Structure 1
Amino acid sequence: MDAQPILPAARVADLSARGLWPDRLLIDALDEAAAGAPDALAIVDHNSMTGRSTRMSYGTLRSHSLRLAAALAAHGVGRGDVVAVQLPNWWHHAAFHLACVRIGAVINPLMPVFRERELQFMLGFAEARVLVVPRLFRGFDYPDMAAGLRSGLPHLAHVFVVGGDDPATSVEACLLDRAWETEVDVDSLFRARRPDANDVTEIMYTSGTTGQPKGVMHTSNTLACKALLANQLFGFRRGDCIYMGSPLAHQTGFMYGMCLAIHNGAPCVLQDIWDPVAAARLIAAERCTITVASTPFLADLVHTQAGHRHDTSSLRLFMCAGAPIPRVLIAAARRSHPGLYVMSGWGMTEMGIATATSPGDPDEKVIETDGRGLPHQQVRVVDADGAVVAPGIEGRLQARCATSFVGYLKRPDAYGVDGDGWLETGDNARMDADGYIRITGRSKDIIIRGGENIPVVEVEELLYRHPAVEDAAIVAMPDSRLGERACAFVTLRPGHALDFRGMIDHFTAARMMKQYLPERLEIIDAFPRTPSGKIQKFKLRERARTLTAHRDDNPRRGSST
């Protein structure tokens, strides 16, 4: 697979000259950490399938990466070949990525929830040469699924299984139990295979909130730049410990858990199955200080009373991104975790964190915005003609970031970056006079009712405040007269009820203008989500295509599904 990065010479020269692209590989940080403090803790994980926990030092992590690198090379993995890793949050994920970096291969993290339909496309499109899967996770047989895919994937040479019982495919038997690094001159091998810091080192498929995913390509320099800026944003200090419950197969976990920890020689505590009580117990036991996750993780940690029995006072920072944060949730977090700073932010797989609030910001900025552009991460809001709009006016959000990706795999036409380096994010936003933005929805989330735009996020946030509502999303449903009307999808808190009239009374009491009111209520058991927790609004829009507005003479209320 030939992953061709889009790297204008002027961009490389500029970012290198400013020290933002340090030409440093992740293995350089690993080797330095292992040399300086080989016994220092690198990873803590727990395998929910075996019940075994692992505490791995930097010295041991380095040894495993050397062995896996030599083993992969011996199995024919060449420079630029794709190694797809579909693993939960286990230490193996880090070891395989580091091994790939050593031999110039490209890692492609895949969510454990992906099944045949997604994998057939993703593995085939990336021309993956190796697939690494668990023997069993959450009761699912991954080797059996992989066997069914092989005939349609001519480039896939090997499937290796963590905890596998077949010695021909087991990661342990094939790769880890044999001293591959002693059978070849690894110094010469790794020196010859060492990639350039501007070579593609990671392909991460977008989450799929709007349809077919695209393969986002990152280099060692773009990832190292993310770590550099995150250190400044988080105020990273000696003794910090990262807790990561977000999947390592998502950019949040991959970059701000695994990679950020290794760049700093710090420990990373992993959780493979999300459970807020277990998360609180891990944070307390390991004295974790920093985490990054999407809104549902914060909501669970705040609202699960059983988790409050554990002393999580070490956790000083929760970077909450990936979806708008309801104002009521931030207020609840302050009450239940008074020493915790909830940092609101916005970012994408394409560039990582681009905007954030900061400690010391006024409350209204933390609660009502998604922060402002970080140093070297520029954002702006433009109108339909590309002109920058005045403060407070909604428009298209564009970003120009030092951490920006280097293209979509095999899709140079989809790059969406203009000649000045501005990326069309696909989000709409408003920017205030101080430069703080508020995401108002995806471009495709716009509801235009009779020629008037409905502020989707504002309506959603008000709906969140209803005591019966657990989660909410507003999407468009077609209308022959007005073009579109708003449909509210909600999940309810246990023991609560809500009907259409109750929803309208709630909005009316808050003095929301009539044109913004949702005209249908659908009660559902659970939202369709990406593995990272984002609501897949395109699926809700599909459901809304056949729905019609509530009528007083036809009081059909939202159906439970």
Structure 2
Amino acid sequence: MAFATVHDRYTDEQIARFHEQGLWTDETLFAMIEKQADRQPDKVFGTDSTTEITYGQLRERVLALSVGLRRRGIGPGDRVAVQLPSWTEFFVISAAIARIGAVIVPIMPIYRREEVGFILETASVKAAFTASTYRGFDHARMFADLRADWRLLETIVVVRREGDLVSGAVDFEDLLVDLSREEADAEIGTGVGPDEPFVVVFSSGTTSRPKGCLHTFNTMACGARLLGRGWNYTEADVQFGPSPVTHTTGLVTSYLLPLAHGAASHLMDRWEPKEGLERIAKFKCTACVSATTFLQMLLDVYDPEVHDASSMRFWTSAGAPIPGSFVEAGRAAIPNMAVLSLYGRTENITTTMCTLDDDPSRSVTSDGQALPLQEVAIVDEAGNEVPRGEEGDIAYRGAMNCLEYIGQPDETAANYTPSGFHRSGDLGRMDADGYVRVTGRLKDIVIRGGMNISVRAVEDALASRPDVSQVALVAMPDAYLGEKVCCYLVMHEGQPELTLEEMRDFLLGEGMAIQKVPERLEIVDALPTTATGKIQKHVLRADIAAKLEAGGMAAPRHATSVSAQQAEAV
């Protein structure tokens, strides 16, 4: 399978302009490491719960592993999967893969045989790095079993091995070859440039099968460079990384961002909010980018008499729309920490964001604006920009677009407008100043009796209640209306369950149109999320459809039929 090239996505004029603007450079991932290793070899770059690595050590281990990979027959264009927890070894492994010109295929550790097998086959993976047993699951055995089905997978490398190796696997430490820098460079060769295929990141699958997004180093690193501007990032920063480093958020903000600025990064492989606060205090973390869920959980347990979060400059919530009330609550709890909003996608890293220089109210009322020298438009079905204030598909054009969805040329082409904007499938509105508010997903629209209902405003209203921890609205099938609105709620610990009538009265009191008021309420202990913290609404839609089909066998805690007012509104 041949990958698309940078020239398939961008014109020569665009490529030249991106370089002139400093969005793209001639620097590779390893060149970034070398620059920092020359400047500050003894500075600790990466830490996790048990290990640390300096810039100098990072360079040495990248070169040692690069030689080992070349001796295993892995070279330019080969695809190498990395399914690891957020450990410092990821910094070494991904840089070594890039140094020899191979393509990184990161896989989140939560994925199992079905998802991993799909990714191995879709990306034509030749080698894989994985843990042995992690959190009770034997990852190495899974890869060994998959190799029997996927013959192209030749090499399995086990990191932090426990016990005996599975048959045919290689110990990570045994791949490191101790040579001088000159000898290593001579054996590895020149590698590839920053505009060649660098990584295939699979979307986290909130709605369907994940798609493999092919990026160059420049399209990824551009995001790190521009994010650094918006956050006034310096080498004094210490990034806190609860998001998996094997996905876009972690890869860009826990690796490329601090690396590009000569800063440091702390990885957290198992999220637990109280421990997260302890890590922030211990490592003096200053910055974090995560799904909203992580910050919600942290604030739920934060006690200023116990926890010290004074080192934090900002926490940016991404991956899911962030309720304005939540931004205000976060700022009130930790006054020295800015709470910012960001809307990003695997396809183009960051679409919109609020910066530290923005009026703080912008993170309450919006999900930010386009990054410098990038473009965002709200478009209709034909790809034409709609008037400001009207809802439409949020589309992006700029230097951070992936080259393609691998193996899906029709899907790739279909997502571009005639003017070259990439559709997101997310709905939003843009105000007169260019700030965007995400209002939902095209597939999240509830079509009730022919009326399109965007659920974002209802979710924000419910999220503002102090007794509500999490909320998600989805469509549920209805024989009469086609679809109705179903609400899933997670209550804060110790709070009484909200009833359907109480929810209805609250929303009507907030001025919500009766058609938008949910007609079924499911109180649950937790919402299904991806490893990056995004709510999996397709799981909720399937859940409510199954319950309705069961005909009362799985009755909700709170449900009702269409009210008279709602029936009249059809």
TM-score class, shorter: over 0.9
Paired with 2:382 and 2:407, the residues of 1 have a C-alpha distance of 29
Using the size of structure 1 for normalisation, the TM-score is: 0.93
Are residue 110 (structure 1) and residue 139 (structure 2) matched?
no
Counterpart in the other structure of 2:189:
191
Give the deviation of 1:238 after TM superposition: 3.3
Give the deviation of 1:321 after TM superposition: 0.8
CA displacement, residues 240-277 of structure 1 (integer Å, 9 cap, x when unaligned): 11111110011001111111122222111111111112
Are residue 161 (structure 1) and residue 158 (structure 2) matched?
yes
Give the deviation of 1:377 after TM superposition: 2.0
Where structure 2 has 5 or more consecutive residues not aligned to the other structure, the ranges are 550-554, 560-570
Counterpart in the other structure of 1:459:
458
Paired with 1:117 and 1:531, the residues of 2 have a C-alpha distance of 16
1:277, 1:306 within 8 Å by CA — same for their partners in 2?
no
Counterpart in the other structure of 1:535:
535
* 1:509 to 1:183, Cα distance in 2 relative to 1, 3 A: closer
Q: Give the alignment partner of residue 292 of structure 2, picking from 292, 295, 305.
A: 295
Give the deviation of 1:557 after TM superposition: 3.7
Are residue 511 (structure 1) and residue 536 (structure 2) matched?
no
CA displacement, residues 498-554 of structure 1 (integer Å, 9 cap, x when unaligned): 2222221221222322111101111222212111010111121222335669xxxxx
Paired with 2:145 and 2:15, the residues of 1 have a C-alpha distance of 43
Amino acid at match of 2:528: P
Are residue 89 (structure 1) and residue 91 (structure 2) matched?
no
Paired with 2:143 and 2:193, the residues of 1 have a C-alpha distance of 32
2:158 counterpart SS class: strand
Counterpart in the other structure of 1:329:
326
Paired with 1:348 and 1:70, the residues of 2 have a C-alpha distance of 34
Give the deviation of 1:103 after TM superposition: 0.4
Are residue 435 (structure 1) and residue 437 (structure 2) matched?
no
Amino acid at match of 2:118: F
Using the size of structure 2 for normalisation, the TM-score is: 0.91
Paired with 2:188 and 2:141, the residues of 1 have a C-alpha distance of 34
Q: How does 1:96-245 map to 2 (within 5 A)?
A: 96-164=93-161, 165-166=163-164, 169-176=169-176, 178-179=177-178, 181=179, 185-192=183-190, 194-245=191-242
Are residue 8 (structure 1) and residue 6 (structure 2) matched?
no
CA displacement, residues 75-103 of structure 1 (integer Å, 9 cap, x when unaligned): 11121111101001101111011101110
* 1:196 to 1:308, Cα distance in 2 relative to 1, 3 A: farther
Further displaced range: 199-208 or 495-504: 495-504
Tell me how many residue pairs correspond in the alignment.
546
1:42 counterpart SS class: strand
Are residue 258 (structure 1) and residue 255 (structure 2) matched?
yes
Identity %: 37
Paired with 2:371 and 2:418, the residues of 1 have a C-alpha distance of 22
CA displacement, residues 272-300 of structure 1 (integer Å, 9 cap, x when unaligned): 11111221122112211111111011112
Could you list the structure 1 runs, at least 4 aligned residues long, displaced by more than 6 angstroms after superposition: none
Give the deviation of 1:173 after TM superposition: 4.3
Give the deviation of 1:362 after TM superposition: 3.7
Paired with 2:296 and 2:181, the residues of 1 have a C-alpha distance of 51
1:83 counterpart SS class: strand
Are residue 310 (structure 1) and residue 316 (structure 2) matched?
no
* 1:273 to 1:546, Cα distance in 2 relative to 1, 3 A: closer
1:319 counterpart SS class: strand
Further displaced range: 221-230 or 71-80: 221-230
Paired with 1:308 and 1:377, the residues of 2 have a C-alpha distance of 43
CA displacement, residues 39-82 of structure 1 (integer Å, 9 cap, x when unaligned): 01111111xxxxxx112111111111011100011111121111
Q: Give the alignment partner of residue 404 of structure 1, picking from 398, 401, 406.
A: 401
2:157, 2:172 within 8 Å by CA — same for their partners in 1?
no
Counterpart in the other structure of 2:524:
524
Paired with 2:59 and 2:317, the residues of 1 have a C-alpha distance of 31
* 1:190 to 1:366, Cα distance in 2 relative to 1, 3 A: same
* 1:364 to 1:448, Cα distance in 2 relative to 1, 3 A: farther
Counterpart in the other structure of 1:474:
473
* 1:418 to 1:196, Cα distance in 2 relative to 1, 3 A: farther
Where structure 1 has 5 or more consecutive residues not aligned to the other structure, the ranges are 47-52, 550-554
Give the deviation of 1:447 after TM superposition: 1.1
2:344 counterpart SS class: strand
Paired with 1:183 and 1:154, the residues of 2 have a C-alpha distance of 34
* 1:84 to 1:556, Cα distance in 2 relative to 1, 3 A: closer
Counterpart in the other structure of 1:424:
423
Paired with 1:32 and 1:511, the residues of 2 have a C-alpha distance of 57
Q: Give the alignment partner of residue 25 of structure 2, picking from 22, 26, 29.
A: 22
* 1:21 to 1:556, Cα distance in 2 relative to 1, 3 A: closer
Paired with 2:138 and 2:311, the residues of 1 have a C-alpha distance of 38
**RMSD across aligned C-alpha pairs, in angstroms?**
2.1
Amino acid at match of 1:191: G
CA displacement, residues 106-141 of structure 1 (integer Å, 9 cap, x when unaligned): 111101010011011111111111111111211111
2:341, 2:368 within 8 Å by CA — same for their partners in 1?
yes
Amino acid at match of 1:329: F
2:234, 2:261 within 8 Å by CA — same for their partners in 1?
no
Paired with 1:369 and 1:269, the residues of 2 have a C-alpha distance of 29
Counterpart in the other structure of 2:490:
491
* 1:91 to 1:480, Cα distance in 2 relative to 1, 3 A: same
